[in-house]
Copies of this chain bind each other. A is one copy, B any other.
Amino acid sequence: MERVTRVVLLGAGNVATHLGRAFKRSGCSVLQVYSRTISSAENLAGKLDCAFTDRMDSLKKDADLYVIAVPDDAISDLAARFPLKDKMLVHTSGTAGMHKLEVGSTRYGVLYPLQTFSKTVDVDFSQVPLFLEVACTKDRSFLDDAAGRISKKVLWTSSHQRRQLHLAAVFACNFVNHMYAVAEDVLEENDLQFDLLRPLIQETAQKVMTAGPHEMQTGPARRNDLGVLETHARMLAGKPEYRKMYNFISESIRTKYNC
């Protein structure tokens, strides 16, 4: 069976960085980083100890797997310029259709890591769920094997399911982090440290590790404590956007639990 041993990364952001590290740790060689911005390519190549380029026609031809990890709106253009028509090409997007890669190669698919990556925080990639799709069934075992080298949680999904996963992840991660940030704003305006909330944040996440979130909902909206809801709305009078968000989410909780 054909196995992945050499990888080229197209993109030099957070996803490319963490994928590159994971492939290196698994024993694969990362041959090269491509980025439109040569300094970004050089920077990541420095971390991964590999070559780099900002030119598609300088792409190394001897890799087994080419991974596009760029913002969604840049995928089509990159695929159209990809010169190696018989090489396995995947993107890492939660939302972009797999067939965007059809212009790039006869062999293509998706490897979507469901995790939040930032430059400064290391991640245990073996625990990151990877969602796979592939255009031709003959490439299925190759991609399954490649994904299995970097993660213990490999799943095959349809494009439809992958999009739904990504949408759910926006609520459970990006919007959650924004709630943390709003809380930070509220505290900072009153000379209180964000640190005071950290045990609460950890416990809130911990509670849904074994139970479902609908069982764990607490707070004034869930208790239908209208006095507190009114007090909080009044306290946010100087921040109309946050007040609107407060009322809207509280209302959504009351609706969900028939309060």
Contacts and interface: CB of A to CB of B under 8 A. Distances in A.
Contacts of A225: 71-73
A218 B169 contact: no
A168 interface: yes
A172 B199 contact: no
Question: Interface size bucket, A side?
Answer: 35 or more
A138 interface: no
Interface stretch (A21-29, A33-41, A200-208): A200-208
B253 A174 contact: yes
B168 A187 contact: yes
B207 A205 contact: no
A196 interface: yes
Interface string A155-184: 100001101111111111111111111111
Contact of A172 (B14, B121, B183, B191): B183
Contact of A245 (B114, B205, B221, B252): B252
A137 interface: no
B175 A179 contact: yes
Interface string A9-31: 00000100000000000000000
Given A177-B213, A218-B118, A245-B248, A95 B255 contact: no
Given A14-B218, A167-B236, A184-B214, 13 more contacts: A72-B220, A95-B231, A166-B228, A171-B246, A173-B219, A176-B179, A176-B201, A176-B204, A178-B249, A201-B205, A201-B208, A201-B209, A245-B249
11 contacts: A114-B197, A115-B200, A116-B218, A128-B199, A161-B192, A171-B179, A171-B182, A177-B219, A179-B179, A181-B217, A241-B252
In the A-B complex, list the 8 residue pairs whose CB atoms are closest, starting with the nearest. A174-B219, A180-B213, A205-B205, A172-B183, A168-B183, A181-B213, A171-B183, A164-B190
Interface of A: 14, 71-73, 95, 114-118, 120-121, 123, 127-129, 153, 155, 160-161, 163-184, 186-187, 189-192, 194, 196-209, 211-223, 225-228, 231-232, 235-236, 241, 244-246, 248-249, 252-253, 255-256
